[in-house]
């Protein structure tokens, strides 16, 4: 059987890759994809812990809700991206600089 730690390390790697994507990507949709990786890594943790540590299904139920929430977030994010695209004809984050940090 695969030990718990193996799953956790893989999900940590997934998280780190997602983080890398967030830090480097300019295209808003690419950033969204990276964020989805992060959500998935959290979910893997939850399911793995549910199996190994908790012995009940709480983690799986949480993961299920996260999937639903991520779907909502992706839908709204894409709607916002569409809306912005109409204005700028581009979804590069460099272009979205009318608001100065």
**Three-state SS at 26:** coil
Torsion-angle region of 27 (φ positive above 0: left; ψ -120 to 50: alpha; else: beta)? beta
- Which residues in the 32-71 window bind another protein by CB under 8 A? 32-71
**Interface characters, 6-35, with another protein (x: CB under 8 A):** xxxxx-xxxxxxxxxxxxxxxxxxxxxxxx
- The answer to whether 40 touches 69, Cβ cutoff 8 Å, is no
Nearest approach in angstroms of CB 95 to another protein is 9
- Which residues in the 81-100 window bind another protein by CB under 8 A? 81-85, 87-88, 90-91, 96, 98-99
């Amino acid at each position: 059987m695969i030990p718990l730690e193996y799953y956790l390390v893989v999900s940590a790697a997934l998280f780190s890759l997602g983080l890398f994507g967030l830090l480097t990507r300019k295209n808003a949709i690419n950033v969204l994809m990276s964020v989805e990786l992060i959500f998935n890594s959290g979910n893997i943790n939850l399911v793995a812990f549910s199996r190994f540590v908790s012995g009940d299904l709480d983690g799986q139920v949480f993961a299920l809700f996260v999937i639903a929430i991520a779907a909502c977030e992706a839908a709204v994010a894409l709607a916002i991206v569409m809306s912005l695209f109409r204005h700028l004809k581009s979804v590069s984050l460099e272009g979205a600089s009318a608001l100065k940090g």
